[in-house]
Amino acid sequence: MRTLFYKLPKNIAECFWGYNFILHLLAIAITYVLVTSGFDWYYFTSTRGTILYSFLFPAVILGGLLPVLVPLAILAVGKMRGSLKTINTAWALGQAALIGLLISSFYKAFTGRVQPEHVNSTVNFLSKTFIGRIQPTHIDVAIDISREFRFGFLRGGIFWGWPSSHTTVAFAMAVTLLMLYPKNKMAGYLALLYALYVGLGVSISIHWFSEFIAGALIGTVIGVVAGKSFRERYSV
């Protein structure tokens, strides 16, 4: 368990150091453009209640469960096979997920962004899936709430807000895997495809589009740092 916290403070600090910090600024800048231009609201009104919802909504569930289950499964396999590389991979993915959650929660604690309306869409999806009938989705599009931020400390909690934790963690784990196995192109492509699926899934359900983009950028930074750190650990 101690390996999960391998160089944790240093790795967190590294995520904000040098060129990595520039990507944080880029995430903020892109968010500003997407919000002020009205694209966030346009994307929201164009994607809710569409056929994509049924395909992408499971990403919300997968993005919450897999960051816990996948490292544990890989760790179990590594223990059974006695593979130090596999065990190292499990801890690396675990730390990437942990850092992703910590950093995204830190930002959310201060941004307090109002979340998009998603309750009716979720009810309709579950009704269609488990009951077999479709109910009409109603979304009040009279008021643009995509620009609403409640800056301060814990004014909006740490569950909702900017950036998307689902996306941040997904990209952090995917890029970590790429860093650990640069020659395994197939594993890298599948990992990035999963991260993209999670990001798009939350962008049409519980998050704004800009929160998906910001999460992808910040998650990439975390993945590079965690992957490099655990790659060096294994080589030693």
The chain-wide mean pLDDT, for the chain, equals 87
**In terms of Cα–Cα distance, which of 171, 195, 203 is closest to 52?**
203
**């979304």: which residue's tokens?**
139
> Exposure of 51 by Cβ count < 10 A (0-12 exposed, 13-18 middle, 19+ buried)?
exposed
pLDDT at 8: 96
**Residue 173: which pLDDT band, with cuts at 50, 70 and 90?**
very high
pTM of the prediction? 0.88
Contact status, residue 165 vs residue 100, Cβ threshold 8 Å: yes
Element (H, E) at 36: helix 19-36
Question: d(Cα 165, Cα 64) in Å, to the nearest integer?
Answer: 9
Contact status, residue 134 vs residue 128, Cβ threshold 8 Å: yes
Q: What is the mean pLDDT of residues 183-207?
A: 92
Better-scored residue on pLDDT, 228 or 128? 228
**In terms of Cα–Cα distance, which of 26, 57, 64 is closest to 214?**
26
pLDDT at 121 > cutoff 60: no
Question: d(Cα 224, Cα 231) in Å, to the nearest integer?
Answer: 10
**In terms of Cα–Cα distance, which of 218, 224, 217 is closest to 177?**
224
**Residue 125: which pLDDT band, with cuts at 50, 70 and 90?**
very low
Better-scored residue on pLDDT, 169 or 236? 169
**Residue 128: which pLDDT band, with cuts at 50, 70 and 90?**
very low
Q: What is the mean pLDDT of residues 60-66?
A: 90
Q: What is the mean pLDDT of residues 211-218?
A: 97
Chain center to CA of 29: 18
* Dihedral angle, C-alpha 40, 42, 47, 48, nearest 10 °: 90
Q: What is the mean pLDDT of residues 218-227?
A: 97
Contacts of 58 by beta carbon, 8 Å cutoff, 6+ apart = 201
pLDDT at 142: 56
Task: Indicate the DSSP class of residue 134.
Answer: -
Q: What is the mean pLDDT of residues 14-36?
A: 96
Pick the range with the lowest mean pLDDT from 41-50, 88-97, 163-172: 41-50
Better-scored residue on pLDDT, 205 or 216? 216
Interhelix angle 185-203/165-180, nearest 10 degrees:
170
Contact status, residue 55 vs residue 47, Cβ threshold 8 Å: no
pLDDT at 139: 46
pLDDT at 10: 97
The domain spans of the chain are 11-137+153-235
pLDDT at 124: 44
Question: d(Cα 225, Cα 198) in Å, to the nearest integer?
Answer: 21
pLDDT at 118: 54
> Exposure of 159 by Cβ count < 10 A (0-12 exposed, 13-18 middle, 19+ buried)?
exposed
